Structure 1
Amino acid sequence: MKISKRVRRGYALVLALLLALPCLTLMQTQAADAVEVDRKCNLTVSVEGNYDEAFEADLSEMQIPVALYRVASVDVSGRYTGVGSWASMKFDSISGETKADNWTTLAQEAYELIGDGQPDAEEKIEKTQGALASAKFTDLDTGMYLVVPETSFNTDYSYEYTFTPYLTALPGNAFAQTGAGDDSWNYEPVIGLKAERAQQEGTLIINKTLDTYNETLGAVTCVFRVEGHDDAGNAVYSNVISATLEGAGNTETVRLNGIPAGIRVTVTEIYAGSNYQVVGPDTVETVIVSKEALENVDGASEASVSFTNAYNGGNRGGYGVTNQFNLDENGLWDWTTDLQE
C-alpha cells in the first residue's frame, strides 16, 4: 500500500512536534535570563513559616546551627550537575513540574551522601534586634545546596526540634522550581525551616515527712493529686499517688516519671492519713524540668515538692490503698493496686 505525500507530510509534522516537546518543556522551566554562574550569592534562612504561635515563639528565641553543602553546580541555562560526593546524583529531572515528594527524595539522597564531608558554610539562626530569628550566608557560589539545620532544643529544653534537610538553588527562581511566580533569578533568596517538635519529659519528686507519730496506730498513708497544665491553661497531666511511712522525723520520697517537661503542676495532699493533719500548705506548685535541662542548664534541678504531717491526737483506725486504672494497647482498662494480699 502506498502512502500519499500528504499523509507522509502529516506524519513528519507529528514527529517534529513530538521531538520538540522536551525542548518546549525545558524552555518553560528555564524561561529566565541566563544564570550568572560566576556571581556570588547570599542566602537567608529564617524561622518565618506556617507555624502555630507556640512553634514560632520557641523558634524565635532559639539558636539553631545550620550547615550548607554545595551538592551541584549550575550552568547558564539553569541545569544542575552533581559535584564531589554528590557527582552520582541526577538533577536533570528538576523543573517546575517536580513534586514536593521528589524534592524530599532528592534531599534525603543528598543527605545520605554527606559522610565525613565538611559543610561549605555554617551559621546560627538567632534573633536580632527588631527582626525574626534568621541566619545569613554570604559570598556563596551558585549551584544547588543541601540545607541541614541541627536538631535543637527550645530555651527551657522542654521541646526538641528536628528539621528536615532540604535542597535550595542559588540563584533561586520561583517559576523554574515551582512552575509559578517570578521568572527572574534571585541571587539573595530567603527560605524557611521545615520543623517538627517532640515534648521532653521530666520527673516530679514528692517528699513527705512525719513531724509527730503514734506508734500504736502504725503506718500512715497519705494521698496526693497531681494536675498539670500547659502555658495555655490546658490540662495535660493528671495522676494520684500515695506515700506510706512511719516514725517521727522520717521522710518518704515518691517519684513520678514521664511527666511532660515545661508544664506547671499543682500537687495537693487530698488525704493526710487517719488521725493526721497537714502542717503548712496542702497545695504546692512547681514546673517540670526535663532531663536535657538538667544536663545543660547550670543550677537546674528536678521538680520537687515537700509536705509535713503531724499526729492530731485521734485514735481512729484506718489505712489507705491506691488503685490505678490505665488503658492498655487494646483499649481495655488495666487495674493495679498497692494492697498487699
Structure 2
Amino acid sequence: MIKANLSKKTIIGVALAAVLALGGFSVQSLRAAERVDTAATVTITANIDSNDTSVFASRYKDSWNADSIVEMDPVTVDLYKIASLEETGTLSPDSRFSNIPVGELLKSPNADTIIEKIVTPAKEIAEGLSPDKTIAFENGSLSATATIPGGAGLYLYIPKAKDNRYSYNFISYVILAPNSDYTDTTGTSDKWNYNVGFSLKGTEEQRTGSLLIKKKLESYNISLGDVSFVYRVKGQLDDQIIDNVYTIDFTGPDQESRLITGLPATAKVTVTEEYAGVSYKPVEGSQTVYTDVEIVADDGDEEPVIPPATVDFKNTYDDGLISSGIAAENQFIDDGNGEVHFDGRKPFESENVR
C-alpha cells in the first residue's frame, strides 16, 4: 500500500491545487497548518450553475416545469472513498483501491495526469462496487449534498444523468474532503474546510429508440406465391430527417414483425403501408397509417424496460387474381389454421377481380 504524506504545507499546496483543478476551485497554493480532525463530519456538494446554458443544465431546469416535455431521470453523483486522510495529512489508500498510486499527487501533476493515473483506474475498480455515498438532486434544486460522518479522505465522484432524449457525459474526477483554501495572494484562513463542492458540466449525446412494425396476414392465396408489404417511416427531429422504407415478407398466412432500431429518441414519425400487394386488402377496421408515433429511448437494449413504439397492420386476401390463366388446382387459400379452402371462382378468369 502506497501512502502519500501531505502534511508539509508546501506539498499540500501543490498537490491539492492539482486535485481540485476540475472541482470548481482556482487555487494557486494551498496550505493547512492544523491537524486533520478525522472524526469530523465532511460534506460534499454537487452544484449546477444557475448561469449554465448547456443542454444538460437547461433541460434539467426545464424538467421541473409542469408543462415540460423533458422527462429526466434523477441526477446522481456516486462517491467512492479512494483513500483516508489521516491527522498528519497522510493519504492511506482504501483496501479496495490499494493499487491506485495516490503518491502521484506529490508530484504536482496536471489534470490529465490525475485522470490517467488515478481517476481512470479508480473508475474501473468502482464499476464492480457499490458507492460509499450517492448525491441525489431533488425537487429542481441546483445543489445536492452528501453528509459523511468521520469521512475525511480522497473521493472519486462519478455523475450520472439522462432524460427521454439525451444521455449526458461528465468528467469524473477526485476531490479531497476536507481541503484548505489558504492562498499566498489572499491570505485567507489556513484551516481545513470540511464542506467542499464541485460543479457539474455535462455534454449531451442523442439517445436512440426502436419502432416495431407488426403485420398479420389473415388469409393467403398460395397460387400467387410470396408477397411483400412495404412500409414508409417518415419524420423529423430538429435537423435530423427520418425517411425510409421497409418490407415484411410472407410465404403464407402468419404474423410477422420488423424491428427498426437506431431512431432518434423523442422523434415523432408517421408509418404508412405504402404497398400491400395487388391481391390483398386491409382487414375491415384496421389502420393503414399511424401518425405522431413517438420513439422511446432504449439505447439498443435487447430487453428494454419500456417496450418500443409499436404499430399494427392487418391484411387479408381480397379474392382478386394477379393475372389470367390461373388453373383450378391453384385456386385455394390457406386460412392460417392449417386448412386449405377452394376460393369458389371459375378457372382461367381473364381479369383481375376485386
1:253 corresponds to which residue? Answer: 257
2:55 corresponds to which residue? Answer: 52
Amino acid at match of 2:257: T
1:72–1:86 Cα contact (<8 Å) kept = no
Q: Aligned with 2:138: secondary structure?
A: strand
Among 154, 157, 162, the residue aligned to 2:162 = 154
Task: Give the distance between the partners of 2:128 and 2:73, measured in 1 at CA.
Answer: 30
1:93 corresponds to which residue? Answer: 107
Task: Give the distance between the partners of 2:261 and 2:185, measured in 1 at CA.
Answer: 51
Report the CA distance shift for 1:142/1:245 in structure 2 as closer, same or farther (over 3 A).
Answer: closer
Task: Give the distance between the partners of 1:305 and 1:204, measured in 2 at CA.
Answer: 8
The CA RMSD over aligned residues, in Å, is 4.6
Among 243, 259, 271, the residue aligned to 2:275 = 271
1:46–1:191 Cα contact (<8 Å) kept = yes
Task: Give the distance between the partners of 1:315 and 1:251, measured in 2 at CA.
Answer: 23
Task: Give the distance between the partners of 1:136 and 1:277, measured in 2 at CA.
Answer: 63
Task: Give the distance between the partners of 2:211 and 2:41, measured in 1 at CA.
Answer: 54
2:157–2:173 Cα contact (<8 Å) kept = yes
With structure 2 as the length reference, what TM-score do the two structures score?
0.58
Report the CA distance shift for 1:118/1:63 in structure 2 as closer, same or farther (over 3 A).
Answer: closer
Report the CA distance shift for 1:275/1:302 in structure 2 as closer, same or farther (over 3 A).
Answer: same
Among 209, 222, 229, the residue aligned to 2:216 = 209
1:264–1:288 Cα contact (<8 Å) kept = no
1:229–1:237 Cα contact (<8 Å) kept = yes
Task: Give the distance between the partners of 1:215 and 1:117, measured in 2 at CA.
Answer: 59
1:64–1:126 Cα contact (<8 Å) kept = yes
* Offset from partner CA, 1:26-58 (integer Å, 9 cap, x none): 7x9446664562154211124556741476457
2:248 corresponds to which residue? Answer: 243
Task: Give the distance between the partners of 1:46 and 1:198, measured in 2 at CA.
Answer: 21
Q: Aligned with 1:61: secondary structure?
A: coil
Task: Give the distance between the partners of 1:181 and 1:274, measured in 2 at CA.
Answer: 84
Amino acid at match of 2:162: N
Task: Give the distance between the partners of 1:103 and 1:113, measured in 2 at CA.
Answer: 16
Report the CA distance shift for 1:207/1:41 in structure 2 as closer, same or farther (over 3 A).
Answer: closer
Task: Give the distance between the partners of 2:187 and 2:53, measured in 1 at CA.
Answer: 21
Amino acid at match of 1:126: F
1:46–1:192 Cα contact (<8 Å) kept = yes
1:42 corresponds to which residue? Answer: 43
With structure 1 as the length reference, what TM-score do the two structures score?
0.60
Task: Give the distance between the partners of 1:116 and 1:308, measured in 2 at CA.
Answer: 48
Query: How do residues 213-228 of structure 1 correspond to structure 2 at under 5 angstroms?
Result: 217-228=224-235
1:287 aligns with 2:295: yes
Amino acid at match of 2:154: M
> How many aligned residue pairs are there?
278
Deviation at 1:225, TM superposition (A): 1.1
Task: Give the distance between the partners of 1:112 and 1:243, measured in 2 at CA.
Answer: 44
2:81 corresponds to which residue? Answer: 69
Report the CA distance shift for 1:74/1:52 in structure 2 as closer, same or farther (over 3 A).
Answer: farther
Amino acid at match of 1:283: V
Gaps of 5+ in 1: 1-21, 318-341
1:42–1:140 Cα contact (<8 Å) kept = no
1:71–1:86 Cα contact (<8 Å) kept = no
Gaps of 5+ in 2: 1-9, 15-26, 64-69, 324-354
Task: Give the distance between the partners of 1:250 and 1:88, measured in 2 at CA.
Answer: 62
Task: Give the distance between the partners of 1:117 and 1:310, measured in 2 at CA.
Answer: 55
1:122 corresponds to which residue? Answer: 133
2:313 corresponds to which residue? Answer: 307
Provide the identity percentage: 24
Among 117, 137, 156, the residue aligned to 2:147 = 137
